[in-house]
């Protein structure tokens, strides 16, 4: 993220938007853009490609909140949301939607920087955890595929587990592919040929 992140403020209310924009500019954020029209909101956000999104909803209906939660789910950016009123159900829905900072009745110019910084920090932390979880899932799935391919090869070629692994590894190195991809090829070929699955 750049030294001064590009911030988009989504707010239909001129007075509330001015509070946010003033707070951001006083805090040193220079790339601030306001969207007052939420028509084709996703297209506008893709076009602007902001680093941070601030959504300010004066008295949001559940439909408007759900639309904003959908925005938060769809964009991989820190989202800070200001609302005048909420309940525990909406707060939980905001967190589930990936809103990084959900502030109820707290729109004050001097708090904007701290809230944006918190949203960025929380977003980065969750993104790292999500990436680590995805990496762990991929490693586990790869291990399962490799084990299955070794079993197929051991049965078909009457070789040991070590020999099957060595053959898979050597093939992966020769073909400059991932070991799991070679293992998946073995499984696919076995399935096509009606081989015995171990």
Task: Decide: 57 and 104 in contact? Cβ < 8 Å.
Answer: no
Thinking of the domain 134-192, which architecture would CATH place it in? Answer: Orthogonal Bundle (1.10)
Rounded distance between C-alpha atoms, residue 6 and residue 2, angstroms = 8
Q: Is the dihedral of CA 43, 44, 46, 47 positive or negative?
A: positive
Domain boundaries, the chain: 7-107, 134-192
pTM of the complete model:
0.66
Same fold, 7-107 and 134-192: no
pLDDT in tens, 51-66: 998 888 776 667 777 7
pLDDT in tens, 85-105: 777 887 788 777 778 888 887
pLDDT in tens, 134-168: 999 999 999 999 999 999 999 999 999 999 999 99
User: CATH topology for 7-107?
Assistant: Rossmann fold (3.40.50)
> Which 3 state secondary structure label does DSSP give 195?
coil
């Amino acid at each position: 993220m750049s030294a001064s992140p590009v911030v988009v403020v989504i707010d239909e209310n001129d007075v509330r938007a001015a509070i946010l924009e003033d707070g951001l500019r006083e805090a040193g954020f220079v790339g601030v853009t306001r969207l007052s029209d939420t028509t084709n909101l996703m297209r506008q956000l893709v076009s602007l490609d902001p680093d941070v999104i601030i959504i300010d909803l004066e008295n949001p209906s559940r439909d408007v909140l759900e639309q904003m939660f959908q925005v938060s789910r769809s964009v991989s950016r820190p989202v800070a949301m200001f609302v005048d009123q909420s309940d525990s159900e909406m707060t939980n829905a905001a967190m589930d939607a990936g809103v990084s900072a959900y502030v109820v009745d707290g729109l004050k110019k001097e708090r904007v920087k701290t809230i944006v910084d918190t949203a960025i920090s929380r977003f980065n932390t969750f993104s790292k955890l999500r990436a680590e979880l995805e990496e762990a899932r991929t490693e586990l799935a790869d291990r399962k595929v490799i084990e299955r391919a070794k079993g197929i090869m051991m049965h078909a070629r009457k070789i040991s587990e070590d020999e099957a692994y060595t053959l898979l590894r050597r093939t992966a190195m020769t073909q400059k592919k991932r070991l799991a991809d070679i293992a998946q090829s073995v499984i696919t070929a076995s399935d096509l040929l009606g081989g015995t699955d171990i």
